[in-house]
Amino acid sequence: MISVGIDAGSATTKAVLVDSKKIIACAICPTGFDFIAAAQKAYEDVIEKAGIKKKDVDHVYSTGYGRNSIKFADKAISEIMAHARGVYYMYPDVKGIIDIGGQDSKVISVNNGKVSDFLMNDKCAAGTGKFLEYTARALEVPIDELGSLALAATRPASITSMCTVFAESEVISLRTRGLAKEDIAAGLIESIARRVAVMVRQVGLKQNVAFVGGVAKNEGIRKALEKELKLSLFVPRKPQMTGALGAALHDIS
């Protein structure tokens, strides 16, 4: 059985095509302002990469921020369930998942691939990719360089504001005081790690924890989280694809 999972995120839209339990192809594209167009592009791209026709696809499942916008999907899947299934496929020993996306952050407790508890921050940009985006802009550095910049810090700055708007102002203030960009970047990343760590402790995760979502590609965030939580995190090679993968695997036992 061939199925496609489409994860319509706020920043990027991902698609994974599986045949039975085998991953055949993946695709990713910017979401932009049109969830439907982005989902259609990701779907067409993943089918082309797999070398098949649309008629060969048995099921299409959507998940993520814009999942209900994808009308050509057979079913919309909760992103909590999708990430749990996708991570379990790659890491059967998983007990917990940290997912930091563009608009929200989630901490999920997992038992044999099933969700047993979770916390979600979707009301505030603090601790999300959007927070990193705004603060990177205030530092005038590309967001994908923020992590490596932070790792070069010698004296991480103290960031007291978790509100994105106030944190951006605080970054500008620290820059005018002459603090190094590296130290400010480290302070920002450590503030996110502390915020997410609170959620992790509330859910009670202590071992076999995976870190997924686009922000998981940021090595600085990963190391800050590991230091804050005092544990090693499993990070998939393509951490932003786990939701789409879990959706694709929805009806496959």
Whether 164 has a pLDDT exceeding 80, the answer reads: no
**What does pTM read for this prediction?**
0.88
- pLDDT, residue 23, reads 97
5 phi/psi in degrees, rounded to 5? -105, 135
- pLDDT, residue 243, reads 96
Whether 202 has a pLDDT exceeding 80, the answer reads: yes
d(CA 43, CA 182): 39
Q: What burial class does residue 145 get, using C-beta atoms within 10 Å of its C-beta: 0-12 exposed, 13-18 middle, 19+ buried?
A: middle
β-partners of residue 4 are 17, 60
Whether 124 has a pLDDT exceeding 70, the answer reads: no
Average pLDDT, the chain: 89
- pLDDT, residue 176, reads 84
d(CA 124, CA 69): 23
CA-based torsion, 86, 89, 91, 93: positive or negative: positive
pLDDT in tens, 10-43: 889 999 999 988 999 999 999 988 999 999 999 9
pLDDT in tens, 49-75: 999 999 999 999 999 989 999 999 999
- pLDDT, residue 162, reads 64
pLDDT in tens, 225-250: 999 999 999 999 999 999 999 999 99
Report percent pLDDT > 90 for the chain: 58
Lowest mean pLDDT across 65-79, 109-123, 165-179, 231-245:
165-179
- pLDDT, residue 145, reads 84
Contacts of 21-25 with C-beta under 8 Å, sequence gap 24+, read 21/89, 21/249, 21/252, 23/245, 24/50, 25/49, 25/50
DSSP E strands, the chain? 2-8, 12-19, 22-30, 59-63, 75-76, 96-100, 105-111, 114-121, 209-212, 233-234
- pLDDT, residue 127, reads 62
Give the 3-state secondary structure of residue 99: strand
d(CA 82, CA 114): 10
Whether 123 has a pLDDT exceeding 60, the answer reads: no
Whether 191 has a pLDDT exceeding 90, the answer reads: no
β-partners of residue 27 are 15
